[in-house]
Structure 1
Amino acid sequence: MFEKMSPNQRLILAVVLSFVFFIVYTAIFPPEMPESAEQNVTLKERVGTEATTPAVTDNGVGHTVAVSEKVANPDATKLVTVESSEFTLKIDTLGRIVSKVLKDKKYYVDDKPTELIAQEGAQPLFIRFADEAINAEALKVPYRADASSLTLDAAGTKSVTLTQTLSQVTVTKTLTFYADGHYDIKVSLSKPMRYFLYVGQHAEHKGQMMMAVHGVMGYTADGVSNIFEDGDVEGRTALRDVKLLSAFDQYFASIFYGLDPEVIVNIDRDRSDNPIAYLEATDSLSFNGFIGPKDYRLLESINPVLVNAIEYGWFTWAAKPLFGFLLWLHGFFGNWGWAIVALVVVIRLVLYPLTYKGMISMQKMKDLAPKMKELREKYKGDPQRMNAAVMELYKKNGANPMGGCLPLLLQIPVFFAIYRVLLNAVELQGAPWMFWIGDLSRMDPTYILPILMGASMYFQQKMTPNNFTDPMQEKIFKYLPVVFTFFFVTFPSGLVLYWLTNNLLSIAQQYMVNKQYAKIKAARHEAHLAQKEHNGGEA
């Protein structure tokens, strides 16, 4: 079947199969989750319960890093509550940030606020000591605080000091909170002692797409984003000169930044091979932190280095500038849906010259299909002569068998880049478009967009020239709109809107090209007749 397909058809099929594989694989083989909470427990951290630590190696770190069991009710062990107009944050008696809830309803899921702190695993600012005996004591002795509640106004800051007095050392954590969600922290010990401070693990949030990358990132001074994905961590990695350390999911992150270049950042694994990140120190540490949405404008306003927490996987090189342009368009239109539509229009305009040549080439290939079939039949037993004859036919008629491929090849990275952008843009959460789309980050509850997308794809197929010689090929391509509609039903509305707009513009462009090519053919036909008449009836 495949040897009878044209280069364009083979390329289109490859693109489609790649796309389908990309979606189906991540749906069938999502990252492995722990079978139960008990399998994820190597360190019990609840106040008043017996605590154990993993075996400590000569470097003070066990092979499997300590991970807490499910956190007790944050209110039951609450030590400090921080309130602002944007969030509520809670610190427990072990000096950990155990809860942060955003008040903006665009972040709600099922009319409930989203908890940004993982209720299983290591929580932000948790300290573990290398000394096993001190560590066991630290898990039983509660911190004291010089304030039980802080209320932040729009421009102000508030500080709290936490103190833990142990038999051999006193730990002091001084935190200063800002209304925009970031904080400053200084950790000091009464005497040098080796300890580890955790950035926390990301929470699991309902409704987030499986295809989004979740895990830990260490962004270093050389501009490299070291990504450690959930379920894919094999051992411990140490990083230095880290500008940003992030435990992240699709939309939110717990971040440390402003670290001293000499601070060692370790990324280890839990028993589910998920990453756990922590700082290693023996004395005082001073740095900054942030827990919240990966909103570009918010992160940039706090510190420009934080925008590096927004990561798009393999297509970051193309996705970052595309998102920057999308952000600019949003500033112009004031609506994310119309910004997406405008982005597609601009991309189509940029690619128009190449797309036009590709469409003309496909028209020529369609016209030459009968002659190519004749040549294949004529030189069936002589492939060399057949290829030479076919190439001569292309040359004589100004056709390029690869002419339609380049525009498609250029659109592949653009599509996957915009896919990553729209999949990871927290700005789309709660962003409406038209009257029936209330949230561009979620599927269309009315199915209108995916149905229109499938219909537009079907209509586009009808308008696009083809030269199928195999009925099976024709059937496969005929049902592609149905297949794509099925996959796009659960996709974020913003992504479906992008694809639908792209299809509509392709239809408009194909219509114009078909009209122009018909005129070109008519002119050629008239010229041919005139030449024939001039030659006395001979072609």
Structure 2
Amino acid sequence: MTPNQRLMVAVILSVVFFVAYTAIFPQEQPEMAQVKQSNSKNNVASTNQQASNMLPNSVSNVSNAAGHEISPQESIAANDLSTLVTVSNKHFILKMDTLGRISSTELLDEKFNDKDDNHAQLIPVDGTKPLFVRFLDSNINEEATKVAYIANISKLDVKDGAKKVVLTQKLSNLTVTKEITFYPDGHYDAKVLLSDNKRYFIYLGQRPEITEQMMTISGAMVYTDDGIVTIVEDGDAEGRKTFSGVELISAFDQYSASIMYGFTKDTNIVIERDRDDNPVVYFEAVQNMNFNGYIGQKEYKTLKNINPVLTNAIEYGWFTFASKPLFQLLLWLHGILGNWGWSIIALTLIIRVILYPLTYKGMVSMQKMKNIAPQVKAVQAKYKGDPQRMNAAVMDMYKKHGANPLGGCLPMLLQIPVFFAIYRVLLNAVELQGAPWMLWVQDLSRMDSTFVLPVLMGASMYYQQKLTPSNFTDPMQEKVFKFLPIIFTFFFVTFPSGLVLYWFVNNLFSIAQQFIVNQQFKNAKDVEVAIAHKTEKKDD
């Protein structure tokens, strides 16, 4: 295989890898279910009066309530329940229903709106809800789903600080009490008390369903005290998995999550699968159970301020080892520059500086390959009938001129993992939602609807190719190589503006570096010509 063919294979492999990754990890675009908000007119007094009444008898089986198939002896009923408690501040409205579950969490900030410009709803209509309690005893289960909880307060405004609500469910032979303290940042402290020791389970709830981007991961996460992250993606759940020593559990999508944490070391966390092979997470609770929870966006500073362990809920897939430190660097740059767009540009510059020695060597090697291309062709023609001798002669020529046939491929191959690490950072950083850069780019988390950035990226890639030395011997290879800017532009059209900005600026730095290398070789050649001309005059 000739050096040109090796270079071409490296380029094509990068594209094939890119296409394969997109095909293997597509993100389904679920239709956003519209949660019907009911304005409950029941106050605390009227609710208390109805405490002993049976809930409506429009029921389904426990599999619908729990979100997964369970054994008959664990069966309970589920009800279409009304709002019991409303918790609000300027950023969210959270509601709890008469079964003591968090039934709705609505984000009020416009930057989190869905694709239809509606407020983001973090609790899906179907599936389990956070704080849902299921008893092992089927008789208790049946009664528990027919008797409403009562609350000591119906509305909590947490804009000025934490507020506590106490929910009580009085069954025939058991009283269940949930004491929940809500905080302005979206997290809560929960205490569940039983009047008698009965075996029961508390559910994390289904993941949010507001993801729009491709190539994102959604599902359930378990982070244990040994630093191991276990992710069960939607569609990949296989039977029951049990964990202990758990630091946090999370049901997540691209930007948001329902998280529970603060467990004792011996708490058993269970992941089941639902009918669609999606994960359902719950844990076995004790008579007096204390834990914490959070429902909201996976914003790094917010999670860190609540509890540093929660930052582990921000996942980057395969590239966590590289993406996590890159995000820390990006966060630090934002603290200095105050703009995420300029922070991305600064991060690109830092990466280019780190990779400069390798990319410089690669560019120099390609320039040398171009300069000796005529001599290589002559050697190949001379030893056309003797491949072994021809290869030896070509390699001697490379060695003599300090040219490396693979030197031009290495920098490009190194950029592939860096690109995907950056991609994971910019795709998972909720901080980019609604974050403007300048001019027409007002949301770095969304595609550029004007298509200006992708076109600029493609144009810069094309110009970079024009500057890059090439010595293609196969016209077909050259044509394919020239089509790469069009292919990449097509890919980048739907990518977040922040990612396109990174690649565009990366191209600009490559152009500048290639221009410097080309100028150095031109100057060196001019010096050689001048010396040769001077020598000829002297000989004359």
TM-score, structure 1 length as denominator?
Answer: 0.89
Q: Secondary structure at the match of 2:282?
A: strand
Residue by residue over 1:247-283, the C-alpha shift from the partner in whole angstroms, topping out at 9 and shown as x without a partner, is 1000000001111111001111111111111111242
8 Å contact kept, 1:68–1:122? no
Going from structure 1 to structure 2, the CA distance change for 1:533 and 1:47 (only over 3 Å counts) comes to farther
State yes or no: 1:259 paired with 2:263.
yes
Partners of 1:383 and 1:403 lie apart in 2 by 23
- Distance, in Å, in 2 between the alignment partners of 1:405 and 1:123 is 51
Do 2:8 and 2:477's aligned partners in 1 also have CA atoms closer than 8 Å?
Answer: no
Separation of aligned partners in 2, 1:488 and 1:67: 49
| Kept after mapping to 2: 8 A contact 1:4/1:469 | no
2:168 aligns with: 163
Task: Identify if the C-alpha distance between structure 1 residues 366 and 68 changes in structure 2 by more than 3 Å, giving closer, same or farther.
Answer: farther
Q: Deviations over 1:397-416 (max 9, x none)?
A: 11111222332232222111
Q: Shift of residue 365 of structure 1?
A: 1.1
Percentage of pairs with the same residue = 56
Tell me whether 1:139 sits opposite 2:145 in the alignment. yes
Distance 2:131 2:56 in 1: 16
SS of alignment partner, residue 288 of structure 1: strand
Choose which of 143, 152, 157 in structure 1 pairs with 2:158: 152
Closer/same/farther in 2, CA of residues 120 and 529 from structure 1, 3 Å limit: same
For the 8 Å contact 2:62–2:76, the answer to whether it is kept is: no
Q: Deviations over 1:77-125 (max 9, x none)?
A: 0000011122111000111101111222211234321011111111111
Are the equivalent residues in 1 in contact too, given 2:451–2:493 (CA < 8 A)?
Answer: yes
CA displacement 1:186-237 (0-9 Å, x = unmatched): 112122222111111112116x213111011111101111111111111211
> 1:142, CA displacement in angstroms?
1.4
For 2:132 and 2:424, the matched residues in 1 are separated by 32
Shift of 1:127: 1.0
- Aligned: 1:284 with 2:288: yes
- Equivalent of residue 310 in structure 1, options 298, 309, 314: 314
Alpha carbons of 1:300 and 1:66: their partners in 2 closer, same or farther (altered >3 Å)?
Answer: farther
Deviations 1:2-31 (A, max 9, x none): 76744333222211221233234445xx45
Is the partner of 1:479 in helix, strand or coil? helix
Amino acid at match of 2:482: K
| Matched letter for residue 21 of structure 1 | A
The one-character-per-residue Cα deviations of 1:133-182 (angstroms, maximum 9, x if unpaired) are 3222222221111111111133x211111111223422111100111111
Q: 1-side partners of 2:343 and 2:307: how far apart?
A: 26
Conservation of the 8 A alpha-carbon contact between 1:80 and 1:149 = yes
**TM superposition shift of 1:530:** 7.0
Offset of 1:531 from its aligned partner? 7.7
Which residue is equivalent to 2:49?
none
- Which of 187, 195, 216 lines up with 2:192 in the alignment? 187
Secondary structure at the counterpart of residue 124 of structure 1: coil
Local SS of the residue matching 1:290: strand
What letter matches 1:13 in structure 2?
I
Q: 1:343 to 1:256 in 2, by over 3 A?
A: same
* 1:7 corresponding residue in structure 2: 6
C-alpha displacement of 1:291: 0.3
In 1, Cα distance between the equivalents of 2:142 and 2:534? 99
Counterparts in 2 of 1:143 and 1:10: CA distance versus 1, 3 Å: same
Which letter does structure 2 place at the counterpart of 1:14? L
Aligned residue number for residue 404 of structure 2? 400
Q: How does 1:38-437 map to 2 (within 5 A)?
A: 48-53=57-62, 62=71, 72=80, 77-109=82-114, 110-154=116-160, 156-205=161-210, 208-437=212-441
Cα distance, 1:353–1:226 mapped onto 2, change above 3 Å: same
Moved more, 105-114 or 182-191: 105-114
In the aligned structure 1, how far is the partner of 2:77 from the partner of 2:528?
Answer: 77
Q: Secondary structure at the match of 2:61?
A: coil
Q: Are the structure 2 counterparts of residues 67 and 324 from structure 1 closer, same or farther at C-alpha, using a change threshold of 3 Å?
A: farther
Say which SS state the counterpart of residue 372 (structure 2) adopts: helix
Q: Which secondary structure does the structure 2 equivalent of 1:23 belong to?
A: helix
In 1, Cα distance between equivalents of 2:284 and 2:262:
15
Mapped contact 2:122–2:256 kept (Cα < 8 A): yes
Residue 506 of structure 1 aligns with which residue? 510
Instruction: Give me the whole-angstrom Cα distance separating, in 1, the residues matched to 2:13 and 2:525.
Output: 31
CA distance in 2, matches of 1:238, 1:377: 67
Distance 1:233 1:210 in 2: 20
Matched, 1:476 2:475: no
Matched residue type, 1:16: V
Corresponding position of 2:462:
458
Change (3 A) 1:481 1:47: farther
Task: Name the aligned partner's letter for residue 59 of structure 2.
Answer: E
- Per the normalisation by structure 2, the TM-score is 0.89
Specify the code of the residue in structure 2 equivalent to 1:510.
Q
Deviates further, 356-365 or 345-354: 345-354
Preserved CA contact (<8 Å) 1:125 1:199: yes
1:521 alignment partner AA: K
Aligned-pair Cα RMSD in Å: 2.6
Q: Which amino acid aligns with 1:135?
A: N
Q: Look up the match of 1:43.
A: none
1-structure distance, mates of 2:77, 2:148: 16
When residues 24 and 376 of structure 1 are mapped into structure 2, their CA distance, relative to the original with a 3 A threshold, is farther
Change (3 A) 1:144 1:512: same
Q: Partner of 2:22 in structure 1?
A: 23
Contact 1:80 1:92 in 2 (8 A): yes
Deviations 1:316-361 (A, max 9, x none): 0110110011011111111111111111111111211211111000
* Structure 1 letter corresponding to 2:177: T
Mean CA deviation greater in 231-240 or 100-109: 100-109
Residue 380 (structure 1) shift: 3.3
Report the CA distance shift for 1:433/1:54 in structure 2 as closer, same or farther (over 3 A): closer
CA contact (8 A) 1:129 1:135 kept: yes
Partner SS state of residue 254, structure 1: strand
